[in-house]
């Protein structure tokens, strides 16, 4: 009964926040709904095995974003990609060190709080590895809001100030997005990939590898997509995955944790400042080193999602497939590589 109530609370609040057009509204609302139920009653519940399903769906969603065109572009983007990933990992370590010394959070939680991954998968991976998923979810929400709400303005102003002639050229250009219409994906078309993703996630979980469930689902789905045997994930299924993820995260938020949320004010400020400095500073270095437009380079280092960055880039006068490819690869690299590195760091420093 309490599991049904938890799902209902997450779904209702998720739909409400989504309708209000809050970034990541379905997931954010689901977390809030499950958390409010748990704070009020202390009875919010979701089976622990459901977390594997949520990771499988999240991994499948990321994997089915990959295309053959993305792979063909990779050779020319390897060096910029390594630069982006190295910059973000260095920033991640620096901010995690600050969080660790100014709060009472454990090292693994600090590392995940600063990770430039997805808002859906990062808290789930953090929980799976033993970090505080509720704290990670709060910090990832701050990162997402800042990445989509504030950083585009910072990038625009920085580009206008540092490269005024190039900025005028971009802003005078009328951006048109061309593309072939795609049919709506169906569950029937995606079902084989989903079944394989769930099976791979179970095996990944049993393997004991950190973030093994999501990583296995992502790799299997990406392989299917690149072989042409996997359709896109239906939008409603992605929403369902967000609701399930929200239940897993929100049901772990207690009154005591909410009372202690004020300790995250300083880390949140550090997080925003860190990403702003990295986005502008390392973005300009990326631009000069690899001859990329400054605005495009700064957008490449933005911690928002690949889909969101494509829309934001168009609004800022940047129409670049390389930007989207690098953003997708960033998400894949962070999801697969960073948790393993975090685990290694914790083991070495234990």
CA dist., res. 214 & res. 216, Å (int): 6
In a domain, 2, yes or no: no
pLDDT tens across 133-148, in order? Answer: 888 988 988 887 787 7
pLDDT tens across 214-247, in order? Answer: 888 888 988 888 888 777 888 888 888 888 888 8
Backbone CA torsion sign across 219, 224, 228, 232: negative
Instruction: Say which DSSP state 264 is in.
Output: G
What residues make up the domain containing 97?
A: 26-172+187-349
**Helix residue spans in the chain (DSSP H):** 2-19, 25-41, 50-63, 68-102, 107-113, 121-128, 133-149, 151-162, 164-172, 187-207, 212-226, 235-250, 255-259, 265-277, 283-290, 294-300, 306-315, 321-336, 338-349
Half-sphere exposure of 263 (CA within 13 A, CB side): 15
Backbone CA torsion sign across 327, 329, 332, 334: negative
In a domain, 277, yes or no: yes
Cα angle vertex 70, ends 168, 125, to 5°? 100
In a domain, 10, yes or no: no
Taking only Cα atoms into account, the Rg of the chain, rounded to an integer number of angstroms, comes to: 20
What residues contact residue 294 under an 8 Å CB cut-off, 6+ apart? Answer: 158, 159, 162, 163, 166, 283, 284, 287
In a domain, 180, yes or no: no
Give the pLDDT band of residue 179 (cuts 50, 70, 90): very low
pLDDT (average), residues 141-165? 77
Residue that wins the pLDDT comparison between 70 and 343: 343
pLDDT tens across 185-204, in order? Answer: 777 888 888 999 999 999 98
Q: Please, are residues 301 and 284 in contact by the beta-carbon 8 Å criterion?
A: no
Give the pLDDT band of residue 121 (cuts 50, 70, 90): confident
Q: Which of these, 64, 71, 117, lies nearest to 325 by C-alpha position?
A: 71
pLDDT tens across 81-111, in order? Answer: 999 999 999 999 999 999 999 988 999 999 9
Q: What is the pLDDT of residue 175?
A: 41
Residue 165 in this model has a pLDDT that exceeds 70: no
Give the pLDDT band of residue 319 (cuts 50, 70, 90): low
Instruction: Say which DSSP state 281 is in.
Output: I
In a domain, 136, yes or no: yes
pLDDT tens across 29-67, in order? Answer: 888 899 899 999 988 888 878 888 888 887 888 788 777
Residue that wins the pLDDT comparison between 79 and 312: 79
pLDDT tens across 123-133, in order? Answer: 888 988 999 98
Q: What is the pLDDT of residue 96?
A: 95
What residues contact residue 204 under an 8 Å CB cut-off, 6+ apart? Answer: 212, 213, 214, 215, 216, 217
Q: What is the pLDDT of residue 309?
A: 67
| CATH number, position 328 | 1.20.1530
In a domain, 105, yes or no: yes
DSSP one-letter string for 193-259: HHHHHHHHHHHHHHHT-TTHHHHHHHHHHHHHHHTT---PPPHHHHHHHHHHHHHHHHTT--HHHHH
Q: Is 333 helix (H, G, I), strand (E, B) or coil?
A: helix
CB atoms within 10 A of CB 171: 14
pLDDT (average), residues 255-269? 80
Q: What is the pLDDT of residue 222?
A: 86
Q: What is the pLDDT of residue 181?
A: 44
Q: Please, are residues 101 and 339 in contact by the beta-carbon 8 Å criterion?
A: no
Q: Which of these, 156, 117, 159, 113, lies nearest to 303 by C-alpha position?
A: 117
In a domain, 67, yes or no: yes
CA dist., res. 30 & res. 8, Å (int): 9
**What's the domain count of the chain?**
1
In a domain, 13, yes or no: no
Q: Percentage of the chain with pLDDT > 90?
A: 26
Residue 118 in this model has a pLDDT that exceeds 90: no
Q: What is the pLDDT of residue 339?
A: 92
What residues contact residue 180 under an 8 Å CB cut-off, 6+ apart? Answer: none
């Amino acid at each position: 009964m309490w599991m049904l109530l938890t799902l209902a609370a997450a779904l209702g609040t998720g739909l409400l926040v989504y309708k209000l057009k809050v970034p990541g509204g379905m997931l954010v609302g689901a977390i809030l709904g499950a958390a409010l139920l748990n704070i009020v009653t202390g009875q919010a519940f979701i089976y622990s095995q459901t977390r594997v399903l949520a990771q499988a769906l999240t991994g499948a969603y990321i994997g089915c974003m990959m295309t053959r065109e993305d792979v063909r572009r990779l050779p020319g983007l390897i060096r910029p990609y390594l630069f982006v990933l190295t910059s973000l990992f260095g920033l991640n370590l620096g901010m995690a060190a600050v969080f660790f010394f100014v709060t009472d959070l454990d090292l693994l939680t600090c590392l995940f709080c600063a990770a430039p991954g997805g808002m859906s998968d990062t808290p789930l991976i953090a929980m799976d590895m033993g970090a505080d998923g509720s704290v990670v979810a709060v910090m990832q929400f701050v990162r997402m809001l800042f990445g989509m709400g504030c950083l585009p303005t910072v990038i625009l102003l920085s580009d206008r100030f540092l490269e005024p002639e190039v900025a005028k050229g971009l802003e005078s250009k009328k951006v048109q997005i061309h593309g072939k219409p795609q049919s709506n994906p169906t569950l029937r078309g995606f079902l084989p990939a989903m079944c394989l993703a769930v099976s791979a996630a179970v095996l990944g979980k049993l393997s004991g590898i950190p973030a093994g469930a999501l990583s296995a689902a992502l790799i299997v789905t990406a392989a299917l997509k690149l072989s042409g045997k996997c359709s896109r994930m239906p939008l409603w299924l992605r929403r369902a995955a967000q609701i399930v993820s929200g239940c897993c995260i929100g049901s772990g938020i207690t009154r005591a944790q909410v009372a202690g949320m004020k300790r995250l004010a300083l880390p949140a400020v550090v997080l925003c400042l860190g990403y702003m400095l990295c986005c502008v500073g390392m973005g300009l270095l990326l631009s000069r080193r690899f001859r990329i437009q400054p605005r495009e380079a700064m957008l490449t280092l933005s911690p928002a999602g690949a889909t969101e960055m494509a829309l934001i880039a168009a609004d800022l006068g940047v129409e670049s497939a390389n930007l989207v490819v690098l953003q997708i690869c960033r998400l894949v690299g962070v999801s697969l590589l960073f948790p393993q590195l975090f685990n290694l760091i914790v083991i070495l420093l234990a």
